[in-house]
Structure 1
Amino acid sequence: ISRGLGSSATCILAGVIAANRYLKKKMTTEEIYLKAVAIEGHCDNISSQFFGGLTLSMREDDRIFYRKANIPSGLLCTALIPDFTLSTKKARAVLPETVSLTDATYNLSHAMLFVESLKNGQFKDLKYFLKDKLHEPYRSSLIPNFDRIIQKAYDLGAYGAFLSGAGPTIMILRKNEENSFKKNIQNYLHTLEDQWKAVDLSIDNEGTIISQD
């Protein structure tokens, strides 16, 4: 919670699904999704957690649009989670009220290449497409050793490293078969003043599953 991992969206989505089953409302998949988005207030985290895989979503007036693509095999996420929290409110407070056209177009071009590469399993250049000028330069100041950790991840062979959500978790994209990465990055994290833990997370292309157990 308060680590940039979408816990609020997870709780909201679980609550809507549980209420639907308990009250026997028989809402459709689309209705469950839209209800959760309405409660959360924005659709990005709800979309990824409900549908799985790589999701893109947006709101236009009163409509929600989303698209999903499966992420090819060969990729593993490692979340570097610190022992301190960072509220979304505080993380938003450090952002500028306006951004330049240059920075906006920079991020837009990088985001499009990132999505296309992820969809097609072209992982080797992800580190370049994950460069950001809209939020990481500001929020990283709230996270001790952020730049050092990112650089260490790349030194160890990561495909990509970036701030997860509003932070403070740092997410690593790496080769699925690279067994030594987690141990090596954890050993490095132990040298820092804050306590960090490395947690491997497999790619989920299925999304939310309702179990009968």
Structure 2
Amino acid sequence: MIYHIKVPATSANIGPGFDSIGIAWNLYLHIYIKKDESHKDDIRIINKNKINNDLFIKAFNETINYINKKPSNYIIELWSEIPIGKGLGSSASAIVGGIYTAEIITNTYLNLHEKLNIALKFENHLDNISAAINGGINICLKNEKEIYISKLPINYDFWGLLYIPDYYLSTQEARSILPHNYKREDVVFNLQKFGILISGLFQKDEKLVKMGLDDKIHQPYRFELIKEYPLLSKEVEKHGKKIVLSGSGPSLLVLLFNEQEALEILEKLENNLKEALKGEFKLLKIEHNGITLEKLN
């Protein structure tokens, strides 16, 4: 029997939703689990390409210790489509994948609260974690007393047009440039915009969504770290769209609600900017299901 786990990529911090909202996309970390009787009392983890292997192993071992079972005779193969350090939740996918892999090979089911508690030991961003687990659009709450996630009941499709630069940007660097204090009017601005964004997503109202993507808490500071932003933002505005950060960057994201329009804008951006930009464009679709498991044979 071979088990195949898929963990989706995620975009967090959408517009004014700093540390509050995450979206899952149809780009995946693939995990293949199979029995291996030739290696007694052993679990082999094989990394097929560059992923956050260390985080996967840490989350896997933490979950095994929590479950308190000692599995053996398994080969675990990892292969990821999600680029590292690009604001697409590669860390969250590795952590969530490690937890679910431990569940499968120990034949144990953990409740959501248990999974979140383990995941948060290695990844402090609940927006990415919740979207990787649940799929769709997730709103999250995390403070000293409360941990809560809620998946929005949205069943329509939309697309994320991403520009992925050819360089990395660490979350630590992206956070270090943020101010420690904010003006009250800027906080109120973000609260109002976030409400408009959520209302627009519920109603599938693209005008409201666009209106709700403005932010004064994190994006104005982080855009300064992304050299392509001024040019790309200007080009996107020609199509009546607005660009936001995916996670803490450096990837940039445009939300689109019509597939044909998304394909046309993608083609125009690639043609117009191919000489000026060294990164790549990628058109992704919302992943409604989150992490999935299938038996291959």
Q: Which residue does the alignment assign to 1:171?
A: 253
SS of structure 1 residue aligned to 2:243: strand
2:176 equivalent among 93, 109, 112: 93
CA drift at 1:132:
1.0
Contact 2:89 2:247 in 1 (8 A): yes
Given that 1:33 and 1:50 are in contact with CA atoms closer than 8 Å, whether structure 2 keeps it comes out as: no
Q: Which residue of 2 aligns with 1:110?
A: 193
Specify the SS of the correspondent of 1:55.
Answer: strand
Secondary structure in structure 2 of the residue aligned to 1:39: coil
Structure 1 equivalent of residue 222 of structure 2:
139
SS of aligned partner of 2:292: coil
Percent sequence identity over matched residues?
Answer: 29
Q: What are the equivalent positions in structure 2 for 1:26-175 lying under 5 Å apart?
A: 26-73=109-156, 75-158=158-241, 160-174=242-256, 175=258
Q: Based on CA coordinates, which of the two structures has the bigger radius of gyration? A: 2
Comparing 196-205 and 144-153, the one that deviates more? 144-153
Question: Unpaired runs of 5+ in structure 2?
Answer: 1-83
Q: 2:280 aligns with which of 184, 197, 202?
A: 197
Whole-angstrom CA distance in 2 between matches of 1:119 and 1:107: 18
Secondary structure at the residue paired with 1:111? helix
1:45-85 alpha-carbon deviations (Å, 9 max, x no partner): 10111111111111243431111114353521111101011
How far does residue 20 in structure 1 lie from its aligned partner after superposition?
1.4
**The one of 250, 259, 270 aligned to 1:186:** 270
Q: Partners of 1:69 and 1:87 in 2: how far apart?
A: 29
In structure 2, give the amino acid aligned to 1:184.
K
More off after superposition, 57-66 vs 30-39: 30-39
Alpha-carbon distance in 1 for matches of 2:225, 2:98: 31
Q: Which residue of 1 aligns with 2:294?
A: 211
Number of the residue aligned with 1:19: 102
Task: Please report the TM-score for the alignment, with normalisation by the length of structure 1.
Answer: 0.91
Higher helix share: 1
Q: Which one is further off, 51-60 or 145-154?
A: 145-154
Deviation at 1:22, TM superposition (A): 1.6
Indicate if the aligned counterparts of 2:157 and 2:285 stay in contact, CA closer than 8 A.
no
Q: Is the 8 A contact 2:174 2:248 kept in 1?
A: yes
Whichever residue aligns with residue 252 of structure 2, its letter is I
Decide whether aligned partners of structure 1 residues 79 and 149 sit closer, same or farther in structure 2, where only a CA change above 3 A counts: same
Q: Is the 8 A contact 1:71 1:203 kept in 2?
A: no
Do the aligned partners of residues 116 and 38 (structure 1) sit closer, same or farther apart at CA in structure 2, a change above 3 Å counting? Answer: farther
User: Match of 1:204, SS?
Assistant: coil
Contact 2:157 2:286 in 1 (8 A): no
Instruction: Tell me how many residue pairs correspond in the alignment.
Output: 211
